[in-house]
Amino acid sequence: MKTRQQEIAKVISDIESSIEKLKDFNSFKDLPKVEEDSSAESSAESSAESSAEYYSSSESSAESSAESKPFKDEVFFSRGLTKSWPRFKYLSGEIHGNLTKTRTMALDDSNVIHSLGYKSDMHIKTDILLNSINRELPGHKGFIGTVEASNGITYFMPAYSTSIGKLDRATGKITLENKFPTTPQVRSGAEGNNGIIYMPSYTRTLKIFTYDTKTGQTGSFTPEKPKRSGIGGCNHIWGAVKDKKGEIYMPQVLGSSVAKIDKNGVFKYLEGPPATSGVSGWTHKYVGAIYVEAVNKVFCLPRQGKKILVINCVNDTYEEVDLPADYLKVANKNKNFHGFLGPDGWVYSAFWADTICFRINPYTNEIQWRDYDFHFMDGKPTVKEGSGIMSLGTGYSTAALVKNKSVYLGLAGTSRAIKLEF
């Protein structure tokens, strides 16, 4: 049952949301318009406006996704996808410091998000009912990425820690389990059908660390090297996601290969051309992997690259989709931290060193972008003053967590946390 404080907080949140809608109305005047089908215009007053179909002028994008679309040919947006953008909102509470504070987010059953520290001791709690953040003691550090396992535990991946973090989602209790003699340098992971979490390393010589959620047993193995190693022989991986069959896909950060662990736990590299994201050298290509079950594809967004990697889980083929030229002209090199599948069905980037967000329609591969600098400023003269960021190198946000029609972004180098409302 909600407390009176929570009810008051909800009323305040609703009022603030209405104000943000007015801000959005004003800021949308400079956005490019999308041509709508005339039938959608004529039915704008009915419930059909939420599922109106729009038609693409790009035949190539429609053809490339025709096999996976559940709707009629040449549909531009699928049902449930809209042309509107999420509303930006700061949560109450501030946590100061010129550091990337967290790269993890894990939700418990009481609607509290737990974030453990990156390189400094942190335990940040985000109350999604009160729309607030606060820092609790004791803190923990050394974690990047989480895996929400089927056993009711969410695991914090060990990057600079010899322990794996554990959140009991039913109780909200955090515990650490010391499992490794050295820091594994893990950035991501995914649970296979066998209950084993596979965690690729962010190291030159790739290792796959394993954690059995049933027994707590850990292990590791070193896969074969790909035919195409990255610059300096680097085979770092930062991103892992499971599809509906239980197969795990992993893009390389500095290399140009795409890795996979099948439902039997067998590792391999996919056949296909080099996945370069349009960059070379030590430039970070893909960070994170997002599975969209509706199209049975994995979308890997770039951190510093110029393309989006799209993996077809039906036949293990992949393609790279160019980011728009007009976006690349204005975007920061460090575009995105991980990204997320929005409640509206689009795949979104997460703000890293930029106030610009880009998104891709998983049915058509159409890409749009929008600058949220006005919202970051929040009435202040500059984005820096509005967000509390001290250095772009620490990022505006990191991980993202979707709950109902809202997305909560992990606190990075800013003092204020961000929520996007759909």
Each residue's pLDDT, cut to its tens digit, for the chain (422 residues) gives 556 655 665 565 566 555 555 555 444 444 433 333 323 323 322 222 222 222 222 223 322 332 333 322 333 344 556 679 999 999 999 999 878 999 999 999 999 999 999 999 999 999 999 999 999 999 999 999 999 999 999 999 999 999 999 999 999 999 999 999 999 999 999 999 999 999 999 999 999 999 999 999 999 999 999 887 766 678 999 999 999 999 999 999 999 999 999 999 999 999 999 999 999 989 999 999 999 999 999 999 999 999 999 999 999 999 999 999 999 999 999 999 989 999 999 999 999 999 999 999 999 999 999 999 999 999 999 999 999 998 999 999 999 999 999 999 999 999 999 999 99
What does the pLDDT read at residue 30?
A: 40
Residues 281 and 422: their CA atoms lie apart, in Å, by 38
What does the pLDDT read at residue 228?
A: 78
What does the pLDDT read at residue 35?
A: 32
What does the pLDDT read at residue 75?
A: 35
**Predicted TM-score (pTM) of this structure:** 0.83
Backbone angles phi, psi at 168, to 5 degrees: -80, 110
What does the pLDDT read at residue 98?
A: 75
